[in-house]
Structure 1
Amino acid sequence: MRLRTFPVFLAFLVMGIADAMGPMADGVRAQYHLSHAAATLLTFSVFIAFAAFSVPAGLLAARIGRKRMLVLGLGMNAAAILVPILALPSFGVLLGCIFVLGAGTTFLQVAGNPIMRDVSAPGAYPRNLALAQGIKGLGSASSAYLVGLVAILPVFSILGWRGVFPVFFVLMALALVLMAGLKVEESQAEVPPSLASSLALLKDPAFLFAVLGIFLYVGAEVCMARFLKPALAGFGWSEDRAALLGPTLFFALLTVGRLAAGLLPFSARAWFRLSAGLGLIGALCLMAGTPRLSLAGVILGGLGFANIWPMLFALTVERRPERASELSGLMCMAISGGAGVPLLMGRLSDLGFGGLAFAVPAACFLFLAGLAFRPAVRAEA
């Protein structure tokens, strides 16, 4: 890892802080005497900000530069976290802070993925992006664990559920200082982009299929996160083992796979093909609905899902690096697949399809497997 990449890796680490809103919801619900539905507004506020700001963030990054966009996002996140540290806010103000945190994290994601190319050595971009996504996963897991430690460690528990915010603030501030001091030579388009020019990129089938691929990938990943535990329990596993060998094992392997891709010198195309193949086989194993095959499905799925995002993203950006910010905005907007695709799987589950409901993520990965061998995305890192 080169020293100049460290601030960007740190920015990816703090991106995971937004994922702590889910584990924090129970503490917030107790503090404000909320219903379970109302407490989910924390995660909703993050998600809706992502949906609203991804494309505009890509356009803004193309105009002001990706480094400035990262600094802006880090500043917004630090400010959003500082408010609950200084005083207990009303629930409305808290939601406003979380919405700002979501918008700031959107800026980090949109600018962070392509700027990694600007700070990476030649040929190292796909590996560095995979490693960065793995570090983001570690940030998500660490944030969730810190939320749990708030209840048992006196140094955190003084502020109750807000006790973890000072730690988040220090990390945000450190990333902000280091990022502000980083010198980056960015590739930029000759003509400032507009919304029309950004959307016009989708006329290229390679870009359209890449955005659709991200949409389906995120949808498939959310399906795994949402339905693995109840599915494994339905296959005969106990509730505890279903939780441990389902989403917990899946996301652990997701992080391991990304870290491995960041360290092993294979091409982005090879990783993309391997990931798509393993993910498809894993989903098919889960469709069988038996304990042994379901465990194999979780293992293969976790390793297969790991490197779809970084490799597809890197291969797409390498086609038009001068349009990286706009492409990043379009692909980050496709994260909305996490809202739509699981609804279909949920409907199949409600109709009693059991393991066959995993046909939804399997279909998503069938598309991705086809995309992995499509000549339009055959770009070497």
Structure 2
Amino acid sequence: MTAKQQLKYGRLIPVMLCFFAMGFVDLVGIASNYVKADLGLTDSQANIFPSLVFFWFLIFSVPTGVLMNRIGRKRTVLLSLVVTAISLLLPLFGDGYALMLCSFSLLGIGNALMQTSLNPLLSNIISGERLASSLTFGQFVKAIASFLAPYIAMWGATQAMPTFGLGWRVLFPVYMVIAIIAILWLSSTPIEEEKPDKASGFAACLRLLGKPFILLCFLGIICHVGIDVGTNTTAPKLLIERVGITLEEAGFATSLYFIFRTAGCLLGSFILNHLSGRKFLAISVACMLVAMIGLLSTESLPIIYICISLIGFGNSNVFSIIFAQALTFVPEKKNEVSGLMIMGLFGGTIFPLLMGVASDAVGQVGAVAVMTVGVLYLIFYTLKLKN
């Protein structure tokens, strides 16, 4: 390995640790269930916690793009890690509703800052054709943190002595320590950033949506996240409705989705080094289309599982490919473009609302139909890409 390669990987490792920290936001799912049980909350009260995450993406993503132009990408990532560490500190003082609401709000804000700034920071280390594969590998690292959260919480809940009386909340100090390590490591890592021509404002960022291709990418991100959140929400309900199994048994569908999504991220990081983004996106979207057709028509448990697996694999690399395409389309405005793309994560709120209305009207087939519209849009988007 040459000295230049050693320098690149030396800078890449702390950035990947930040991707791991990005996955901390997914602890809100398991944590909200424990808070609901501890405080005797209703579903509506408990569901406020995960909803907060997507709300802060809508509010903070574009302003973060403006902030990066003023203080730089690395400093913005460091700020996001500090906010994340503070959010993880609060639950050590108790698990009251207001305290947890504040903690999860800060966690959502920190994650909105991080997702907006970390991806373009990676482009200062990895560029060109390898950017999409590196972004995908970052998503794989992020998924590891998402996977570990339920198991750490479960260990804390069942092993009272080693957790200093925190129970399931031991999850927070464990991740807080990792966040602090990421802060120290990244702050000591030199990363050269290209300087923006000028500090742009909020309106200037939104004006980028006037570029047809950037608008296509933005809508693509909305559909990707909508399918992601929609599958997690609908898969268990679909199994209960079609096969008649219990909620506990149906919960495996969500785990199955994440297994194939994580595997897809890992495979994609290698495949994208040898295959163009357009071709791999076409394969990915084709997997999801086959899956949606299957879910619209079958009542077979094995086939439903296969379809959920295809969605997990197919949707695993969509974000990275679209994000890389958007960054390279307007390379002089990476910060602003990043803010717009991350704002598209608000699709995680839009799709479930539409799917809820559709499923109330005609059953879970209605929810699948809404996700199918998202897949059809991604087919349209793929056709617009150049080889």
Runs of 4+ in 1 over 4 A off after TM superposition: none
Matches within 5 A, 1:1-381: 2-85=9-92, 87-88=93-94, 90-120=96-126, 122-153=128-159, 154-156=161-163, 158-236=165-243, 238-239=245-246, 241-244=249-252, 246-264=253-271, 265=273, 266-291=275-300, 292-355=302-365, 357-374=367-384, 377-378=385-386
Rounded Cα–Cα distance in structure 1 between residues aligned with 2:36 and 2:95: 14
Is the CA contact (8 Å cut-off) linking 2:155 and 2:168 kept in structure 1? no
Rounded Cα–Cα distance in structure 2 between residues aligned with 1:38 and 1:353: 25
TM-score w.r.t. length of structure 2:
0.91
- CA gap 1:349/1:94 in 2 versus in 1, 3 angstroms: closer
Q: Secondary structure at the match of 2:123?
A: helix
Rounded Cα–Cα distance in structure 1 between residues aligned with 2:131 and 2:353: 34
Rounded Cα–Cα distance in structure 1 between residues aligned with 2:95 and 2:361: 43
**Structure 1 letter corresponding to 2:341:** M
Rounded Cα–Cα distance in structure 1 between residues aligned with 2:61 and 2:195: 18
Rounded Cα–Cα distance in structure 2 between residues aligned with 1:157 and 1:289: 49
Q: Secondary structure at the match of 2:158?
A: coil
Q: RMSD of the TM alignment (CA)?
A: 1.9
Rounded Cα–Cα distance in structure 1 between residues aligned with 2:96 and 2:366: 45
Is the CA contact (8 Å cut-off) linking 2:56 and 2:109 kept in structure 1? yes
Which stretch shows the higher mean deviation, 121-130 or 198-207? 121-130
Q: CA offset at residue 217 of structure 1?
A: 1.5
Q: Give the match for residue 4 of structure 2.
A: none
Count of residue pairs the alignment pairs up? 375
Rounded Cα–Cα distance in structure 2 between residues aligned with 1:35 and 1:354: 23
Rounded Cα–Cα distance in structure 2 between residues aligned with 1:122 and 1:350: 46
Q: CA offset at residue 356 of structure 1?
A: 5.1
**Structure 2 letter corresponding to 1:138:** I
Rounded Cα–Cα distance in structure 1 between residues aligned with 2:256 and 2:352: 20
Which stretch shows the higher mean deviation, 300-309 or 27-36? 27-36
Q: CA offset at residue 241 of structure 1?
A: 4.7
Rounded Cα–Cα distance in structure 2 between residues aligned with 1:26 and 1:364: 29
Q: CA offset at residue 195 of structure 1?
A: 1.1
Is the CA contact (8 Å cut-off) linking 2:278 and 2:382 kept in structure 1? yes
5+ residue gaps, structure 2, are 1-7
**Structure 1 letter corresponding to 2:14:** P
